[in-house]
Amino acid sequence: MNEPDPRLLPLLEKLKALESEYPYSALLINVPGGEDTEQLFQELCKLALHDPSGKERLLIKKAIDGKQGLLSCFLGYMYTAAEKMRETRDIRWLEIGLGAYILQDGYPDWRDTILAQAELYVTAEEVGLDPRPVFALIGYDEKADFGNHPVVRERRGRHW
């Protein structure tokens, strides 16, 4: 078995150190803040999305398994990525947002997740980016186009 990316272990240590800063509450979605923390989340999200072996992704998910406050941070980072994409019109923020989507798997309420996912999709469309190729990286294709999901149509303001 190959060793994980050497950059990953120090990132996981930093992530574990944040657990007490971001406790879980059903009443709010944590949004990681601060330059160092944002850099950490960017790196972890990029590793999660662009991990052909799935090994790094699995190690990150294992490190946050059952840590609802940190899972909430990744959900919140999906919204941060949408804001950054709106500001910069840079598709890499869609990739980072979908990396956060992969990592927040296990968040207590899937409805929160799908709303954040729709925000990423529609924000990309609004700034002139095609979200379909990036969403294809997480399993959506022409047959299962997330752009046709009711929550996306609702977010666009088209109800059916």
Question: Which pLDDT tens digit goes with each residue over 122-146?
Answer: 999 999 999 999 999 998 987 888 9
Contact 120, 131 (CB under 8 A): yes
Question: Which pLDDT tens digit goes with each residue over 14-26?
Answer: 999 999 999 999 8
Burial of 148 (0-12, 13-18, 19+ CB in 10 A): exposed
- Residue where the block lists tokens 């980016």: 129
Q: Confidence class of residue 50 from pLDDT cuts 50, 70 and 90?
A: very high
Task: Quote the pLDDT of residue 141.
Answer: 82
User: How far is residue 73's CA from residue 45's CA, in Å, rounded to a whole number?
Assistant: 12
